[in-house]
């Protein structure tokens, strides 16, 4: 049974609970860019704060949004997967999660 496609992940469509499971630096960038920490910050401002280039901030922002999209897809598929299944797809998404 195919599901309709998930809506796109943008700076306005993710929540704090999704940021809790990804890398701290990427989560911080997404919080600042989305305005969760006050006013929306520009990539240049975030880059100056973190000591990285504006381009690197853009790359990490895109990586974070892609990771949230993949996490949502994985959650959707886990809802369809039977509990007794021994097969668990981990791959890229799980390798990029915050280490505890």
**Token pair in block for residue 61:** 């922002």
Residue 21 lies in a domain: yes
Residue 6 lies in a domain: no
- Residue 58 has a pLDDT of 95
CA 69/CA 7 separation, integer angstroms: 9
Of the pLDDT bands very low, low, confident and very high (cuts 50, 70, 90), residue 100 is very low
- To 5 degrees, how large is the angle CA 43–CA 44–CA 50? 85
Q: What's the pTM value of the predicted model, to 2 decimals?
A: 0.70
Of the pLDDT bands very low, low, confident and very high (cuts 50, 70, 90), residue 41 is very high
Query: What sign has the CA pseudo-torsion 49, 55, 61, 67?
Result: negative
Residue 5 lies in a domain: no
Q: How many domains does the chain have?
A: 1
- Residue 86 has a pLDDT of 41
CATH of the domain at 22: 1.10.10.10
What's the rounded mean pLDDT across residues 73-79? 74
Residue 87 lies in a domain: yes
User: Three-state DSSP class for 84?
Assistant: coil
**Token pair in block for residue 76:** 């959707």
- Residue 87 has a pLDDT of 43
Q: Which among 10, 50, 9 has a CA at the least distance from the CA of 26?
A: 50
Residue 11 lies in a domain: no
Residue-number span of the structural domain to which 24 is assigned: 16-95
């Amino acid at each position: 049974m195919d599901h309709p496609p998930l809506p796109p992940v943008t700076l306005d469509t993710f929540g704090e609970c999704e940021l809790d499971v990804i890398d701290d630096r990427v989560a911080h960038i997404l919080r600042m860019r989305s305005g969760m920490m006050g006013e929306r910050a520009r990539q240049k401002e975030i880059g100056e704060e973190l000591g990285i280039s504006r381009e690197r901030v853009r790359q990490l922002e895109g990586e974070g949004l892609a990771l949230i999209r993949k996490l949502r897809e994985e959650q959707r598929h886990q809802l369809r997967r039977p509990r007794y299944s021994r097969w668990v797809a981990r791959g890229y998404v799980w390798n990029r999660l915050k280490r505890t």
